[in-house]
Amino acid sequence: MIKKIPLIGIIDDDTIYQFILTSIINKNKLAENILSFFDGEKAIQYFVNNKMNSEKIPDILFLDVNMPIMDGWMFIEEYARIKKEMIKKTAIFMLSSSVNPIDIERAGKISEISAYIIKPIKLEEVKRIFDNHEIFS
């Protein structure tokens, strides 16, 4: 049995994909709460504003690569700058429809990224992440 995770974050400009991922998480009762952001800039501002409040920092974050305003790569750069000040570490899973080996290799070299996942994410993969989230944190 998978233990419910207190707080999940989803950063993706695709409302349909956000709906699907949220539905998977809710239907399988994997999380207590879900935060949704449509670009990295609003998400990074949320992290900055709440960096000392562990209850408001997501345990797991699903981060899209391609978004307007601040994309996933830019978000990771900003997150890397502020993570030392944060009271809690977040396991970040980068999501993309890109199968470009350059993107996959780039993500693999960034310590803040727990894994690079190719969209669409499957239920089994979501359950594996939640089941093993402490390994990624």
Q: Write out pLDDT tens, residues 77-133.
A: 999 999 999 999 999 999 999 999 999 999 999 999 999 999 999 999 999 999 887
90 closest CA partner among 39, 120, 47: 47
User: Residue 1: what pLDDT?
Assistant: 62
Inform me whether the pLDDT recorded for 45 exceeds 80.
yes
Confidence band for 40, pLDDT divided at 50, 70 and 90: very high
Peptide bond into 101 cis (omega under 30): no
Q: How far is CA 82 from the centre of its chain?
A: 16
- % of the chain with per-residue pLDDT over 70: 96
Confidence band for 2, pLDDT divided at 50, 70 and 90: low
> Mean per-residue pLDDT for 43-47?
97
Chain-wide mean pLDDT for the chain? 93
